[in-house]
Chains A and B, each alone.
Chain A
Amino acid sequence: MKFSISNMDLFYGDFQALKNINIEIPANEITAFIGPSGCGKSTLIKSLNRMNDLTEGCKITGEIFLDGENIYGNIDVNALRKRVGMVFQKPNPFPMSVYDNIAFAPRTHGIKSKFKLNEIVEKSLRDAAIWEELKDRLKKSALSLSGGQQQRLCIARALSVQPDVLLMDEPTSALDPISTAKIEELVLKLKKDYTIVIVTHNMQQAVRISDNTGFFLLGELVEYGDTQQLFSVPANKRTEDYITGRFG
């Protein structure tokens, strides 16, 4: 198991956004979180690399273990975020060149050698299946790329520090169908080397790419299990109502 979460509650001020979450996320598989807006799925994924620390008034109780280590214990948050990379809903490349976007994180973590940086940039872009498109445009501003390219660049950027885990918070919700297909294909390829947790609004997407699915409703984890099983024979009535489109 990559992540083990037990008895986790999360509050924004007085509002309880997650209620008693218990979940195990296996390594080298794709785990999808689905559910209607405001159900807490994004909140949960942001807890896995402590991005919630940035939100004022956010309080977490319970435990989240990554490879047996409590990430809310006494750990280096920056080292955690290096191990647990994140791709956001809206592509957010930095306003600098393609090359510098990728080299930013390795430089942050102490790599100075030009040769090594070149190597990392090429490898990350190759792993994100965008090297062929961008190899002649490394010096161009990342903001000049299309939305789909920007998002794959952001995936490459996340891969540049060789994380164990890749968290993806609705990575295709701002993209067109062709870009979405490319990203899905990429994600399937990446699970060989990374543990992937993806939040998605799109149930078909969860079916297409994920191995496990968790269904969230009003801050509760209603059902969690094998994707095929959850979508064909859901154990819970509320899951069935949601996936058959009765609400949501």
Chain B
Amino acid sequence: MFKKFFRKKPTDRIFFLASWASIIATAAVLFFVVGYVLINGLPHISPALFAVQFTTENQSLFPALIGTLMIVGLSLVLAVPLGVCSAIYLVEYAKRGSRFVKIVRLTTETLAGIPSIVYGLFGFIFFGVFLGWGLSLMSGAFTVSIMILPLIMRTTEESLKSVPDTYREGSFGLGAGKLRTVMLIILPSAMPGILAGVILAVGRIIGETAAIIFTLGNVARMPNNLFDTGRTLSAHMYALANEGTHPGEAHATAAVLLIVVILINALSSRVARFIKA
């Protein structure tokens, strides 16, 4: 790489250096953030933080951890089938480039651009007040699933489009119908891309705070049922940091949050590889 560098023209060399500097800067920022969170957080992680019951003494993050997993699971159950099926319709069934498709695409792109606090307010008014679900897992999960729907649709659409048409031709040419072609040939080929979208969505859910506090609430306990309130890790962290009395625990929560995200990413890429094989 460096041998080549010295043979290049000066303009090439400048561009080469600039792209190297960008890479270093990007990586440095990432390492700095992760390192900062871990260095400040890890020393404060203690068994008390994982107590089943939250008290003002232990400041346990365990209820919030379970709450996070519940919200993630529930919103994925709601949003993934809907998003994937819509994308299948748009790519495989709808007439390509039709007005309808354009309108749907415009709608989803607009949805993707709305700030999360607006979703929070909408979820609070619609699910919480109008439907009477109050601050609950249901309100939270429905709100967050609307938020991640455009993301899942978009990534699924892209990965369906990247499946070569020769697969479709091959399948139709053997007398397979549309449904069979989509389910057995196209979806499996698109699966890694769809999973990548789901991972992004999981990250978005875990990181969500504003919309969650408006809809799930921010009570430090595990929800007992679908219509019970609770909190997620990010909301827990927000509460701790806001009160200012437990900075160590707030950092520890941040570290746990980071570790959860890394674990989920590792797990999903393992799953993606398993599906591909």
Interface residues of A (CB under 8 A from B): 49, 51, 54, 56, 78-82, 85-86, 88, 90, 92-96, 104-105, 108-109, 154, 157-158, 160-161
Contact, CB under 8 Å: A94 / B185: yes
Contact, CB under 8 Å: B95 / A56: yes
CB neighbours of B167 from chain A (8 A): 92, 94-95
Interface residues of B (CB under 8 A from A): 95-96, 164, 166-177, 180, 184-185, 188-189
Nearest-CB residue, chain B, relative to A96: B188
Nearest-CB residue, chain B, relative to A83: B175
Instruction: Sort A-B residue pairs by CB-CB distance and give the 10 closest, nearest first.
Output: A82-B175, A92-B166, A81-B175, A105-B174, A86-B173, A78-B175, A92-B170, A108-B176, A95-B189, A94-B185
Contact of B174 among A54, A95, A108 (CB under 8 A): A108
Contact, CB under 8 Å: B185 / A49: no
Contact, CB under 8 Å: B96 / A56: yes
Measured CA separation A108–B177 after assembly (Å): 9
Contact, CB under 8 Å: B174 / A158: yes
Distance (Å) between the CB of B136 and the closest chain A CB? 43
Measured CA separation A78–B169 after assembly (Å): 13
Contact, CB under 8 Å: B174 / A104: yes
**A-B contacts, 5 listed (Cβ < 8 Å):** A49-B173, A81-B172, A85-B174, A104-B176, A105-B174
Measured CA separation A105–B164 after assembly (Å): 19
CB neighbours of A157 from chain B (8 A): 170, 174
Measured CA separation A90–B172 after assembly (Å): 16
Which of A85, A95, A154, A158 counts the most chain B CB atoms within 10 A? A95
CB neighbours of A56 from chain B (8 A): 95-96
- Known contacts A90-B166, A94-B167, A108-B180; decide if A82 and B172 are in contact (CB<8 Å): no
Nearest-CB residue, chain B, relative to A141: B277
Measured CA separation A17–B173 after assembly (Å): 22
CB neighbours of B96 from chain A (8 A): 56
Measured CA separation A141–B167 after assembly (Å): 15
Contact, CB under 8 Å: B180 / A94: no
Q: Is the interface of B mostly helix, strand, loop or mixed?
A: helix
Contact of A88 among B166, B177, B189 (CB under 8 A): B166
Contact, CB under 8 Å: B188 / A78: no
- Known contacts A56-B95, A88-B166, A88-B170; decide if A95 and B175 are in contact (CB<8 Å): no
Measured CA separation A78–B180 after assembly (Å): 12
Contact, CB under 8 Å: B174 / A82: yes
CB neighbours of B188 from chain A (8 A): 95-96
Measured CA separation A78–B171 after assembly (Å): 10
Contact, CB under 8 Å: A81 / B95: no
Contact of B170 among A79, A82, A154, A161 (CB under 8 A): A154
Measured CA separation A81–B176 after assembly (Å): 8
Contact, CB under 8 Å: A94 / B171: yes
With A82-B174, A104-B171, A105-B174 given, name 15 new contacts (CB 8 A): A54-B169, A78-B175, A78-B177, A81-B172, A85-B173, A90-B166, A92-B164, A92-B166, A92-B170, A95-B188, A104-B176, A108-B174, A108-B176, A154-B170, A161-B175
Nearest-CB residue, chain A, relative to B169: A88
Contact, CB under 8 Å: B175 / A105: yes
Distance (Å) between the CB of B195 and the closest chain A CB? 15
Measured CA separation A79–B174 after assembly (Å): 9
Distance (Å) between the CB of A226 and the closest chain B CB? 29
Nearest-CB residue, chain B, relative to A106: B174
Nearest-CB residue, chain A, relative to B173: A86
